[in-house]
Amino acid sequence: MSSRDAIFAALDKCNLPDAPMPSITIEPNNEDLMGQYEANLTKVGGTLVRVKELSEVQAHLDKAMADGQSVVCRVEGLNGNRELDAKPHTLQDLDLALIDAEAAVAENGAVFVRETASGHRVLPYITENLAVVVKADTLVANMHEVVKNVKLESGQHGAFIAGPSKTADIEQALVIGAHGACSMTVYMLD
């Protein structure tokens, strides 16, 4: 018997009493979504910058590039100073990556990003600093709401990212910047 069949045969013997599939009836708290989002993003170590035009984001990128930073920009209409190579490993010395995010979640400060927005799957993690552009009208109250809006596509990778990489594995002391990005900026486009 294959192990698959053996596991299924063992499960046949279990007969746990059936329990119905629950349904979520929690009402989203839609009060001051932007205020909730900013408070939670700050709590998880990220920074919110509200912008009216994409050109304001370009001004931030220009300043980073003028400071000598290498910038990969994956947002249409904006420019960085570095293109993606075929091999993602070369991104190890990247200073800043800017990508599109599809949705934002007020209850925890997360944004949803997809690999089509980043080119290489590893881009949002390997870069020293991560920035995303997300439209204000994609902001929802909680995780139940956001999973209605973002559909995972076959063969893809999608991630909820809430703030920079962090750890508290040494005596519970919070340190920002473990393996992933050491900072996270969310440009919220009105």
Residue ranges in 25-54 that form contacts with another protein under rule CB under 8 A: 25-26, 29, 40, 43-45
Angle made by CA atoms 71, 63, 110, in degrees to the nearest 5: 60
Closest to another protein by CB, 43 or 63: 43
Closest to another protein by CB, 65 or 160: 160
Minimum CB separation from another protein for residue 132, in Å? 13
Minimum CB separation from another protein for residue 94, in Å? 12
Question: Which residue in 103, 181, 186, 188 binds another protein (CB under 8 A)?
Answer: 181
Query: Per-residue string for binding with another protein, 119-148, x by CB under 8 A?
Result: -xxx-xxx---------------xxx-xx-
Long-range contacts of 169-175 (CB under 8 A, 24+ apart): none
Residue 4 corresponds to which tokens in the numbers above? 């698959």
Q: Which amino acid is at 103?
A: A
Select the span of 56-64, 67-75, 131-139, 158-166 touching another protein (CB under 8 A).
158-166
Residue 128 corresponds to which tokens in the numbers above? 């020293």
String of b and e for 21-39 (b: at least 16 CB within 10 Å)?
eeeeeeeeeeeebeebbbe
